[in-house]
Structure 1
Amino acid sequence: MTTQHTESSWQALIQNTESVHGYKLMSVLGEGRFGIVYKAQRISDKYFVAIKFLKVWSVPDHAQANLIKRFELEFETGQIASQYLIRSIEMNQLEGIPYFVMEFCSGGNLERKIDSGISLAESLDVAEKILTGLQDLHMNGKIHRDLKPENVLFDSAGNPKLTDFGISGHINIQLTVVNNEGKPEQIFGSYAYMAPEQLSPVKRKNTLLPTIDIFSFGVLCYEMISSKLPFGPWETHDDIDPYIRNASKGDFVPFESSLKLDPTWKKIIAKCLSSDREKRYQNVGEVRMDLKGQHFSNDNMPCTSDFKLRILDGEEYGKLYEVALERTICLGRRSSSVKNEVVLEETISNYISRRHATFERIGNGIFIRDGQWNNKIQTWVTSKNGTYVNGILIGSLAGHHLHRNDIITVGNTSIKIY
């Protein structure tokens, strides 16, 4: 349980606190609805850091547990080893108020850089480095879901680093905060950068896929290169509806003919901005293929009969299954009517089928197929929401040959294979 605070009592607490667990608090770097970030200095060695406090009182009591879980997962996401992700250092509490310490970036954010003028060459360099950061996130089963210029910071060497993983793709942290009547209260993220399916409740089950971030990446690249947003103006409240309508049709304003942009980049950005998720790049590796003719290398080895499955998000975050596969193993939602060897808990949403997927050994290889055989009706039954490997929808016939470090997505749960 957290200590009960009002905003005024919390501010008084901070104002009267000079240091927290070895860190001296300095100036406020930024504040949002759910958190406030301070610049701070480690007392032992004068090392500058940023400290993010969670405003637990900003949501109703019933929503606080999920908010705190989201905060913890944001900290854990920051522990992914990457040159282009803000690094988490440690987590603690101040009289019941959770906070975590993270890397401080002195170079400002991408929004300021765009406003002050960014060259075409620098824009493309930043874009490639952001791709690497996204790849590192996606390889660990995380989807950023709020990629925008404010969430790209620059260190003292000028390297861009992605930050604000508070709405990364976890079942525990839905896109909405629910009010006392159970109705959505707020959609996270910035509308101007959100993929059409992210704004559509009907398609929200797909918001755990890399295609969400790839759309946002396209918007961000377009803005860096042209200093404008792709789907029209975004200056007043009246601009929102037409902008979103244009985005839903993929109807972006063409680049000016005078712009000396490589045709390859024009093709990449256009494909990223496709309104149809299935026509977009399905993962960062595909973008890299078009950009430089090569995928990001993961040094993946084919999966053999003995492998491990780790739950990277969902209601059983961190759970590990050790599998010794002789012929087939079934995966699905917990159910009294279906026996699965890999059982996934899902009580918040309903996106995982009882008969969701099947692992099958064929020769020396391990394959995954969507759906399962149903003995009762003597037919193969596919899942209702599909099975994805590295963001790509797989079928129920040939299946997909699995490799180490592949990311399997079923509903709102991502699983990494080792």
Structure 2
Amino acid sequence: MSSPGVIHIDRGSKVASKKATYRVENELGEGGFGSVYQISDMENLYALKLTKMWTFMPHERIEFAKRFRQEYDYGSRITSPYIVRSHDFDMLEGNPFMVMDLCTGGNLRDLVGKTFGSQKLDEIAHGILMGLKDLHDEGIIHRDIKPENILFDENRVPKLADFGISASIKKRHTVANFMGHAKEVFATGTYSPPEQIDPKQAMKVMGPSNDVYAFGAMMYELITGGRLPFGPFEEFMKDMAAYEQKKKEEKWDRAALEKSSPDQKWVEIISRCIRYRPEDRFGTIDEVLSVLGYQPVREEPGPEVYPQSDWVLRVQNGEEIGREYHLTNLKNSKSAGVLTIGWFNTENPFSNDIGIAEYFTEYISNFHATLEYNSDDYHWYIRDGQWREKGGVPGWYRSTNGVLVQGSRIDEGGKKLKPGDIIAIGDTTLKVVINQK
């Protein structure tokens, strides 16, 4: 990546993309990585987010550019009233920028320390949860839920922002130092689930429960007027290992929550959100919404499944976003309705029927999963692991890091796939799609 230019944007400056020319109205904020400006295209007001690429070390630029582009891609392809939408993307002297919805109502951090009635608190939580649901339905885990990333529009509707470290980043998010402690933590550790901090666990349990944990910690802070369940950020930075041990032992200040909460249901919700083991938390956003008192959104019925249905796995996150694996075509090219999924080995590219590319992480096994077609109900079933020979002993061997379907771990017994299901394998998520012929 070539060296970016050092640029200064003043009020009244013009910023041009391939789609439009924008006028800078004023600067909204500045951080270590970039700045945000209010802009207009002479018809509408937007926010422009610029990354100061010149401030990064040369070896960091490619990775941060990928994250920034990823944030734009997510915000442009997901249509949701609870997610900040991206409208444009380009470069300014080697510095990437994106044009997004302008949210004039501030962020959730502005509300920490204020007192809320039960109805207002529920409304804020509902909007955040609906944004998370819309993300998760597309196979995206936010992984950086905190007050600064919850913005409000002019109607005070909360919107999720900043997908810069979402689960599709093409490298390990947490790097261990020689003591085994986290050295590089992109998410704010006081909100992060324990498994996200631990590089040995990070990809074994990547699913909705990661965001559920952060949501619980964030709502605890909002309800208690600025406290965090396991202690302040300064304590986390002073002794990360001790802080994470408190998470493991679930030693948090329940009394402060009970005293501050306008409704006891929040004690139940947060208690279950910040459990140490992912399987002990709420498994889906719908479960949280139900306890909060909202009926789950009625899902539109999926497409009918027929013998001639064209089943597709589409990469939502990972190295090859947008790539499609046509299961029906792959099945027809084989004598049996069994397909294998595993790491794409460039030296043996046909070792699996579906090879998942993985360049920056090592979470996908050579023999990760198996797909089996059932001609009686015209559906595919996915199983963790493959039948193979290991150490001279034939048998069914499971993968190292497991397989998730709709956020739940599956085993060798298998699970029936439905249109719209999200499959997580390592750092890659795939969406089950049906194309009718």
Write out per-residue CA displacement over residues 361-404 of structure 1, whole angstroms, 9 at most, x where no aligned residue: 2321321110111157431111110000011000102x111111
Q: Does 1:322 align with 2:326?
A: yes
More displaced stretch, 225-234 vs 285-294: 285-294
Report if aligned partners of 1:219, 1:229 keep a CA contact under 8 Å in 2. no
Q: Please give the secondary structure, in 2, of the residue aligned with 1:229.
A: coil
Residue type of the partner of 1:414?
Answer: T
**Are 1:268 and 1:290, in contact at CA under 8 Å, matched by a contact in 2?**
yes
What is the alpha-carbon distance in structure 1 between the residues aligned to residue 175 and residue 249 of structure 2? 28
Name whichever of 68-77 and 230-239 sits farther off: 230-239
**Is 1:27 aligned to 2:21, yes or no?**
no
- Helix, strand or coil: the match of 1:265? helix
Who is 2:186 aligned against? 188
* Residue number among 371, 379, 386 corresponding to 2:385 in the alignment: 371
CA distance in 1: counterparts of 2:294 and 2:416, whole angstroms = 23
Match runs of 1:356-395 below 5 Å: 356-362=368-374, 363-364=376-377, 365-374=379-388, 377-395=393-411
User: Residue 407 of structure 1 aligns with which residue?
Assistant: 422
Q: CA deviation at 1:26?
A: 2.8
Decide which moves more: 111-120 or 344-353. Answer: 111-120
8 Å contact kept, 2:115–2:223 = no
Match of 1:4 in 2: 4
Give, as a single letter, the amino acid of the residue that structure 2 aligns with 1:229. R
CA contact (8 A) 1:73 1:166 kept: yes
SS of the equivalent of 1:358 reads strand
Contact 1:84 1:129 in 2 (8 A): yes
Measured after TM superposition, the shift of residue 249 of structure 1 is 2.1
Structure 1 residue 151, shift from structure 2 partner? 0.7
Aligned residues: 407
**SS of match in other structure, 2:201:** helix
2:39 counterpart of 1:62:
no
Note if 1:253 corresponds to 2:248.
Answer: no
State the alpha-carbon separation in 1 of the partners of residues 287 and 251 from structure 2.
22
Q: Within the alignment, does 1:349 sit opposite 2:348 as a pair?
A: no
Does the C-alpha gap of structure 1 residues 373 and 203 become closer, same or farther in structure 2, counting only changes over 3 Å?
Answer: same
Residue 143 of structure 2 aligns with an amino acid whose one-letter code is R
Distance 1:119 1:255, change over 3 A: farther
- Quote the residue 2:45 is aligned against: 48
Which digits, 9 at most, give the CA deviation of each residue in 1:232-272, with x for residues without a partner? Answer: 44264577535443223222211455556444332221110
Q: Percent identity?
A: 33
Q: What amino acid does structure 1 have at the position aligned with 2:186?
A: F
Distance 1:338 1:382, change over 3 A: farther
2:385 counterpart letter in structure 1: G
1:108 CA drift (Å): 0.6
Higher deviation after alignment, 227-236 or 212-221: 227-236
Residues 288, 255 of structure 1: CA spacing in aligned structure 2 closer, same or farther, 3 A cutoff?
same
For 1:169, the equivalent position in structure 2 comes to 167
The aligned amino acid for 2:13 is: E
CA contact (8 A) 2:170 2:359 kept: no
Who is 2:226 aligned against?
Answer: 228
Distance in 1 of aligned mates of 2:172 and 2:281: 23
Between the aligned partners of 1:377 and 1:338, the Cα distance in structure 2 is 23
**2:49–2:99 Cα contact (<8 Å) kept:** yes
Measure how far apart 1:87 and its partner are. 0.6
TM-score (norm 2): 0.85
| TM-aligned CA distance change 1:298 to 1:151, over 3 Å | same
SS in 2 for 1:78: helix
Cα 1:278–1:369 change in 2 (3 A) is same
Deviation at 1:411, TM superposition (A): 0.5
Distance 1:417 1:35 in 2: 37
> Take 1:151 and 1:215, find their aligned partners in 2: how far apart are those partners?
15
Q: Once superposed, what is the RMSD of the aligned Cα atoms?
A: 2.7
